[in-house]
Amino acid sequence: MVNELSRRSVLSGLMAGVAGLALTGPAFALNTEQARNLINDLVNEINNVINSGKPETAMYGDFEKIFIRYADVPIIARSALGVAARSASAAQMNAFTTAFRGYLSRKYGKRFREFIGGKLEVESARAVKSFYEVKTTAYLRGEAPFEVVFLVSDKSGRDLFFNMYIEGVNMLATERTEIGAMLDARRGNIDLLIQDLKTAG
């Protein structure tokens, strides 16, 4: 009897699981096509901004919104802070992530300024390890086309990019070096770092 019951519950559990998978599978499991579409949308939004003819200061604000919508900012922030993130309190992590987001938006907003009048085009997408690699080509005025790679994951619960490589130079490593140097200069004081990040970039 006990066996019978448990077998039935296991079976029904399995069935529910299968049904659940069938229903929710496509929505949750990120695939190559979705990763590609995500970056396609991202690239279209960037292209719209850099060809909008708006004043540059207005473009920075637009880039910030795009960045918040498409990037997994918390994991980028945690990774940039590195080992110091381990000893930080939850409140410090929150404050750092917010300050870091503003800093990154300003910094990369300025970089994307060089893209004005140019465009990005999605070339290919494929699964690598447990995430997706989406390759794009940047066509800028007066320069040979070059490669920009976005890495996309759904591990945050949403489909977001967590790193980008511009001609091999990646944002995570660059920011870890930069934030590490800033932290060293402040003798490891995270609160001081957060304070200064609010105006940096």
Partner 1 sequence: MNILLRLAGLAGIGLLTACTPPQGPGEINDPFETRNREVHEANKKLDRNIVRPSSQRYGRAVPKPMRQGIENFSDNLALPGMVVNDVLQLRLDDAIWNSGRFLFNSTIGLAGIMDPAGDIGITERSTDFGETLHVWGFNEGAYLELPVLGPSTERDAVGKVVDFALNPVGRVLGWPEGGVKTAADVAARVGDRYDHTELIDSILYESADSYAQARLLYLQNRRFELGDQEEPDYYDPYEDPYGE
Q: Which of residues 126-165 bind partner 1 (CB under 8 A)?
A: 128-131, 133, 142, 144-145, 151, 153, 155, 162-163, 165
Rounded least distance, CB 181 to partner 1, Å: 4
- Pick 129 or 187: Cβ nearer partner 1: 129
Q: Is 187 in the site for partner 1 (CB under 8 A)?
A: no
Q: Is 170 in the site for partner 1 (CB under 8 A)?
A: yes
Give yes or no for a contact between 49 and 141, defined as CB atoms under 8 angstroms apart.
no
Q: Pick one of 93, 116, 172, 192: the residue that binds partner 1 (CB under 8 A).
A: 172
Q: Which of residues 5-64 bind partner 1 (CB under 8 A)?
A: none
Q: Which of residues 95-124 bind partner 1 (CB under 8 A)?
A: 107, 110-111, 113-114
Binding site for partner 1 (CB under 8 A): 75-76, 78-79, 82-83, 85-86, 107, 110-111, 113-114, 128-131, 133, 142, 144-145, 151, 153, 155, 162-163, 165, 167-170, 172-174, 176-178, 181-182, 184-185
